């Protein structure tokens, strides 16, 4: 092969690489833009529809922590607790907690990336999952007790266990009696799922065929698959029941914010009625 042919082949390879990179870039950013539109204009209750942005509402996210350095997170990320390592630092070493936080509370006034459902909600990250995404029921119980002591409004549990643990059930009952709305994910594989199956917990599953939140057979269904924040300061497409749970928590934050503004009393049953908008 002469030098001229080698140069032509090399040039074609370079062009192919550059075109591939450009297509990948535009594809990723197109998805981000779609999520911004999805967050603010879809049929899901979201920013603006209730005339609020989740202000005066506290959500505790019991998960793997949060990446505080992400540009989408500002002063609405409050101090929580790491129950795995028994310390104050709640930095995310796994990534799942940062996914959940972005769906609920990514900022909408920073001219980048995505918009969370309730960007003025106060987020309290409580670490109960380790760097491998595993956790202990005892840490969850301690986290829920922390929520009661710190008067949070919503507890987001984007995980589940197949074990019906007596102590876990009792602490959740106490939290609900204090007026806390507990929202939990069902297992993605249709296994037994606690605490989602406990009485007065809003248990959530995904529904790929809807852009609405609705309740059927006492299970809350929400859309599946959104772009959210990742550990590296960028964005990732995430899906599953845990992601649907975050969507519900964000919308419940808007509902509670509106109830507080209107001086209306609410409980889990009235919240479920307001959520259930599917005709």
From the candidates 39, 46, 242, 249, which is the catalytic residue? Answer: 242
C-alpha closest to that of 157 among 149, 169, 166: 169
- Does residue 242 carry a catalytic annotation? yes
Structure tokens at 15: 């062009």
Among candidate residues 39, 70, 92, 96, the one labeled active-site is 96
Phi, psi of 175 (to 5 degrees): -60, -45
Q: Which of 13, 136, 150 is nearest to 83 (CA)?
A: 136
42 included as an active-site residue:
no
Beta bridge partners of residue 62, listed in sequence order: 126
Alpha-carbon distance of 149 to 69, in angstroms, equals 27
Task: Give the three-class secondary structure for 183.
Answer: strand
Rounded CA Rg of the chain: 21
Catalytic residue among 63, 108, 142, 224: 63
Site of tokens 């990732």:
236
Cβ distance 135 to 128 under 8 Å?
yes
| CB atoms near residue 210 (< 10 Å) | 15
The neighbouring-strand residues paired with 181 are: 154
**Which residues, at least 6 apart from 150, have a Cβ–Cβ distance to it below 8 Å?**
58, 60, 124
Residue 206: which residues within 8 A CB-CB, separation 6 or more? 221, 222, 223, 224, 239, 240, 241, 243, 244
Dist CA 171 CA 169 (whole Å)? 6
Q: Under a CB-based contact definition with an 8 Å cutoff, are residues 222 and 207 in contact?
A: yes
- Residues assigned a catalytic role: 63, 96, 242
């Amino acid at each position: 092969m002469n030098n001229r042919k080698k140069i032509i082949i090399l040039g074609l390879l370079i062009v192919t690489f550059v075109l591939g990179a450009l297509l990948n870039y535009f594809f990723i950013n197109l998805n981000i833009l779609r999520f911004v539109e999805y967050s603010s204009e879809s049929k899901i209750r979201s920013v603006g529809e209730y005339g609020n942005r989740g202000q005066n509402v506290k959500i505790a996210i019991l998960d793997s922590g949060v990446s505080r350095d992400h540009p989408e997170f500002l002063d609405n990320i409050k101090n929580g607790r790491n129950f795995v390592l028994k310390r104050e630092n709640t930095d995310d070493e796994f990534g799942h907690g940062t996914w959940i936080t972005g769906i609920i509370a990514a900022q909408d006034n920073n001219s980048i990336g995505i918009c969370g459902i309730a960007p003025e909600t106060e987020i309290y990250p409580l670490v109960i999952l380790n760097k491998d995404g595993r956790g202990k029921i005892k840490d969850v119980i301690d986290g829920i007790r922390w929520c009661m002591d710190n008067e949070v409004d919503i507890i987001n549990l984007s995980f589940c266990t197949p074990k019906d643990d007596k102590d876990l059930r009792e602490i959740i009952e106490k939290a609900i009696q204090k007026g806390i709305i507990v929202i939990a994910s069902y297992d993605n594989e249709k296994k037994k799922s606690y605490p989602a199956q406990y009485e007065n917990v809003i248990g959530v599953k995904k529904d790929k065929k809807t852009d609405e939140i609705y309740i059927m057979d006492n299970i809350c269904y929400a859309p599946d698959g959104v772009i959210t924040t990742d550990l590296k300061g960028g964005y990732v497409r995430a899906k599953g029941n845990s992601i649907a749970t975050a969507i519900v928590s964000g919308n419940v934050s808007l509902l509670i914010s509106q109830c507080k503004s209107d001086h209306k009393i609410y409980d889990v049953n009235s919240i479920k009625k307001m959520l259930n908008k599917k005709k």
